[in-house]
């Protein structure tokens, strides 16, 4: 509905322009030729202007020139100007001879050239008309963007009320739980940190490695409570944690470990994660055993596919993503340039 509203506004502006042109032309001819002659003269000329202008900006220019058919565009413009000039000249001469039969005129070469030249001038003005239309369209789009931005900021402020209320509630529960069950309180604290990461950090273009590492450790700690047996877990961090990366890049592989790389009935689950800085690159690697039991197959969902699309968007071809399943282990390695 808003699209049609914008279009109707632009259409109304065009109608106002043409009405103004009509009346200016009409009143300029009225004293000289009378009412009927002025009406016909104005109708013929305004129609001619419209045919040349809209024929160019609505059909020929976008349909031929902007698609690279420049030679064909020039030929069609010449045909349009000659055809419209001849038609206009024929109608104007016959109109004049009808109202002034004693002063008859003939279609001469000079008359034809004059009408074609007038058509060329109208053709030139068509680009001014096109620019004016583009300006009003751009102005309306800018106003729409400003309205959307204001609405988005308002929605963001509204959306932040509920999460922060939840954070405060979790903090209150944490202090209550700490008295009776410190381990449970610690898990509540980790959950609160994860939720705060999703709200405050994940929308950003980049976060510090320390923030990303803390998020991963909180996630792993909460996932481990669902596993009956203890997990042998090793997380190597050999990097400058002040460096920054895009958020949620490392999460996919860690999430896949707990979805596909853990046998909940086994006591021999081993996870190896390393985050190593090498020259101007960050290398993140996860390794877990491939189990034969149902539900522990190697990942094949949309997570890695979506990650690849995001990596391509962020780094182009400046990243490496490798997956190896040899030796009964699933190993994922990601190498990205550091910001």
Strand order in the sheet with 281-289: 232-238, 270-278, 281-289, 329-337, 320-324
Beta-carbon contacts of residue 228 (< 8 Å; ≥ 6 apart): 264, 265
Same domain flag for 72 and 210: no
| Residue 213 and residue 88 share a domain | no
327: which DSSP letter? G
Nearest 5°: the CA angle 98, 101, 105 is 85
- Does residue 161 sit within a domain? no
Instruction: Return the SS3 of 265.
Output: coil
CA 97 to chain centre: 60
Q: How many domains does the chain divide into? A: 2
Domain co-membership, 39 together with 143: yes
The CATH number assigned to the domain holding 331 equals 3.30.565.10
For residue 327, is pLDDT > 70? yes
Q: 184-227 pLDDT, tens per residue?
A: 888 888 888 888 888 788 888 899 999 999 999 998 888 888 78
Are residues 68 and 110 located together in one domain of the fold?
A: yes
Using DSSP's 3-state secondary structure scheme, residue 281 falls into: strand
- Indicate if 189 and 324 belong to the same structural domain: yes
Question: Is 166 domain-assigned?
Answer: no
- R_g of the chain, CA atoms, integer Å: 36
| Structural domain contains residue 140 | yes
Residues ≥6 apart with Cβ < 8 Å to 34? 99
Residues 266 and 327 in one domain: yes
**Residue 175 within a domain:** no
141 in the same domain as 10? yes
- Which pLDDT does position 161 carry in this prediction? 45
Residue 208: strand pairing partners: 244
Same domain? 256 vs 325: yes
Contact assessment for residue 97 and residue 37, using Cβ atoms and an 8 Å cutoff: no
- In this structure, is residue 43 part of a structural domain? yes
130 with 203, same domain? no
**Are 16 and 142 part of one and the same domain?**
yes
Residues 187, 95 within the same domain: no
Collapsed DSSP state (helix, strand, coil) of residue 313: helix
* pLDDT, tens only, 223-262: 888 787 788 889 999 999 999 998 888 988 898 888 888 8
Q: Give the residue numbers spanning the domain of 13.
A: 2-149
Which has the closest alpha carbon to 289: 262, 255, 259?
A: 262
pLDDT of residue 336: 93
**Domain check: are 222 and 105 in the same one?**
no
DSSP single-letter state for residue 233: E
Mean pLDDT of 278-288: 91
Angle (nearest 5°) at CA 74 between 71 and 76: 110
In a domain, 155, yes or no: no
Name the token pair of 4: 């049609």
- The answer to the question of residue 127 being in a domain is yes
Identify whether 160 is part of a domain. Answer: no
Hunting for tokens 């050999």 — which residue is that?
Answer: 238
Q: Are 220 and 255 in contact (CB under 8 A)?
A: no
């Amino acid at each position: 509905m808003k699209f049609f509203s914008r279009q109707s506004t632009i259409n109304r502006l065009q109608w106002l322009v043409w009405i103004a042109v009509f009346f200016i032309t009409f009143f300029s001819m009225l004293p000289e030729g009378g009412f009927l002659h002025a009406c016909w003269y104005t109708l013929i000329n305004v129609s001619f202007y419209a045919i040349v202008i809209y024929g160019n900006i609505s059909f020929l220019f976008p349909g031929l020139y902007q698609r690279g058919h420049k030679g064909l565009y020039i030929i069609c413009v010449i045909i349009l100007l000659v055809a419209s000039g001849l038609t206009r000249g024929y109608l104007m001469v016959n109109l004049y001879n009808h109202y002034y039969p004693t002063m008859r005129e003939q279609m001469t070469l000079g008359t034809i050239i004059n009408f074609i030249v007038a058509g060329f001038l109208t053709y030139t003005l068509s680009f001014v008309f096109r620019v004016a239309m583009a300006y009003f369209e751009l102005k309306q789009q800018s106003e729409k963007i400003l309205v959307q931005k204001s609405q988005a900021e308002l929605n963001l402020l509204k959306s932040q009320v509920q999460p922060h209320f939840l954070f405060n509630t979790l903090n209150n529960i944490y202090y209550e739980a700490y008295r009776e069950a410190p381990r449970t309180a610690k898990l509540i604290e980790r959950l609160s940190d994860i939720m705060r990461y999703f709200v405050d950090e994940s929308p950003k273009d980049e976060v510090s490695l320390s923030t990303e590492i803390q998020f991963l450790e909180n996630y792993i700690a909460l996932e481990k409570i669902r596993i009956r047996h203890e997990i042998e877990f090793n997380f190597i961090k050999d990097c400058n944690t002040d460096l920054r990366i895009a958020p949620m890049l490392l999460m996919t592989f860690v999430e896949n470990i707990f979805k596909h790389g853990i046998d909940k009935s086994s006591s021999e689950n081993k996870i190896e994660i390393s985050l190593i800085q090498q020259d101007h690159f960050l290398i993140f690697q996860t390794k877990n055993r491939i189990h034969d039991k149902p539900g522990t197959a190697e990942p094949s969902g949309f997570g890695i596919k979506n990650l690849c699309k995001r990596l391509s968007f962020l780094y182009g071809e400046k990243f490496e993503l490798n997956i190896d399943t040899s030796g009964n282990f699933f190993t994922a390695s990601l190498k990205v340039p550091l910001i």
